[in-house]
Structure 1
């Protein structure tokens, strides 16, 4: 079941591959995603997993056309100049297929490293502004949320699309105003509808130089891509898919803001129990405390047909979907099923 993507005219298909497995395994999954018609493959970045850029280099070797990039790195663990160089290297080894997924990072993970996540919006914006100048071949001096003095890259100039990982209103609006795309950290239509309103506000303030020259009745600017970075678990059996969704949902609940919990009527005490277990390092207990309503709110989980219905509902508010971790109990099977579900959801 290959080559099912409807083409450039249809919604964007993305996949998130988490390097909790060796790079060669992730590269094989990227090749499968390419065969299944996906447009872009992101590799997540967490200090406890394999390095995303090493993994991306293997993915580049294993593929020919699919776009590749970190999804997402943060400018706290690694200096922004270094992130720009690493991403440009992936662009070079992939013959110009790199994208740059950048965000503020997970506060609890950064705290584990003794890193304070200060001024996240400014730091993310300054990071990709600086990266764009470096990719253009400029020598850059910057004093802001970080410092760079006479920095430049010993690489050929290039242009790399920037996608900002965002969930809160300010980051969403900033992304729409300045970036090439946004990765909306949400799976439920209720959250995506709310995010679309924030993105529309940002697009209204987008500089004219960054807008498309064409007229478009849709309020979303076609120089900007809004993608749902949606945790997804798909399998032939609904119960198995929902069970596999427990770990990522636990982490989503643990970091969810109170307005997000309220939007889905998630019990505060139940959410606190998940968060406390995570903070104590009791991961299995945290996963066990995930409720069915939490899975419904924060993951697209079920059979191929059920997931297709949820994808279709999400696409009312975004330009495409990144099928996020965990994908499902069987990764290869899940990628094939996700492709089938996307094809079904995007049929006219």
Structure 2
């Protein structure tokens, strides 16, 4: 079993657990991640999977020390006041281990629900500003990208301050998170993207008020690790397809991804033909958008990523065998962080 110490100089080890699996299975994976030295576990949020807060409640019951939170929810599907209450509930039942992972949400998924993702930067900022006030016990009235009137919470979360992590990829969201939040979940796996993101975060940090405390940048990276390189890369196809489908042109150009191949992936996803979309994923796409391979390969990629961030969240798919992947990812992180 690998172990991450609590020194503030040590990189943060995070893991994303996807509620495509039953809540008890995810809770068992959270307990395994805790045993393997992970610091924080995020339950991802997609309307077509199980509810992340229900799953987080099971994760809280199955663990003792690992921090827990959604990674990430958006303030379009659910009202921001409700998100604040749900996160406070997780903080309460976990005895102060809650974190709040929030972002603008996936535009294509929101469109499936008939939701327009308007003013994403302002809406995310207003959401966690409001949440902080509610967690402090204040009654709030807000009229901005959403409305709240005389809203308050009927519970007092045990954390003195629930940490807010912003899911970000574009330049404006990255800079905003560095200026206002406690941390950022950078939606990237490749050193080239993380280096670019670090430059954006540096701009935001230059405007950060001195009394806001420390800021933590985490690479929220798609990872697929297994004993067999080919098996790990094959398991990476589904998440990479969705990453490619939502990637902006500058990101594709940064990695010299063939535009025609990327379009084929996107069009298949829009038609709902997932096997075809996954089949269009190229080796270059996997190299650019997922840390995939054996433990040795993954450890090397983790070490390169840590040149630009304060920690790594091991994200979906983890690997072809989830329990095995949690253990291998932990060992890879230990190797990558050896001094």
TM range (shorter): over 0.9
Distance across 2 between alignment mates of 1:208 and 1:311: 31
SS of equivalent to 2:189: coil
Distance across 1 between alignment mates of 2:195 and 2:108: 27
Distance across 1 between alignment mates of 2:4 and 2:293: 21
SS of equivalent to 2:121: helix
- State the TM-score, normalized to the length of structure 1: 0.96
Q: Which residue is 1:317 aligned to? A: 308
Q: How many residues are paired up? A: 336
Q: Which residue is 1:174 aligned to? A: 176
Deviation string 1:157-177 (CA, Å, 9 cap, x unpaired) is 542000000000000000000
SS of equivalent to 1:226: strand
Alpha-carbon shift at residue 7 of structure 1 (Å): 3.2
Distance across 2 between alignment mates of 1:90 and 1:234: 30
SS of equivalent to 1:262: helix
Q: Which residue is 2:86 aligned to? A: 86
Q: Is 1:7 the counterpart of 2:1 in the alignment? A: no
Moved more, 52-61 or 152-161: 152-161
Q: Which residue is 2:71 aligned to? A: 71
Alpha-carbon shift at residue 207 of structure 1 (Å): 1.1
Deviation string 1:5-49 (CA, Å, 9 cap, x unpaired) is 143231000000000000000000000000000000000000000
Matches within 5 A, 1:191-270: 191-211=193-213, 223-270=214-261
Alpha-carbon shift at residue 131 of structure 1 (Å): 0.1
Gaps of 5+ in 2: none
Deviation string 1:275-302 (CA, Å, 9 cap, x unpaired) is 0000000001000000000000000000
Moved over 2 A (4+): 6-9
- State the TM-score, normalized to the length of structure 2: 0.98
Q: Is 1:272 the counterpart of 2:263 in the alignment? A: yes
Matches within 5 A, 1:82-231: 82-157=82-157, 158=159, 159-211=161-213, 223-231=214-222
Whether contact under 8 Å (1:308, 1:341) holds in the other structure is yes
Q: Which residue is 1:38 aligned to? A: 38
Q: Is 1:304 the counterpart of 2:295 in the alignment? A: yes
Whether contact under 8 Å (1:6, 1:343) holds in the other structure is no
**Aligned residues: CA RMSD:** 0.7
Alpha-carbon shift at residue 156 of structure 1 (Å): 1.1
Alpha-carbon shift at residue 323 of structure 1 (Å): 0.2
Matches within 5 A, 1:283-294: 283-294=274-285
Distance across 1 between alignment mates of 2:109 and 2:238: 15
Q: Which residue is 2:319 aligned to? A: 328
Distance across 2 between alignment mates of 1:269 and 1:107: 21
Alpha-carbon shift at residue 194 of structure 1 (Å): 0.1
Distance across 1 between alignment mates of 2:220 and 2:5: 20
Alpha-carbon shift at residue 210 of structure 1 (Å): 0.8
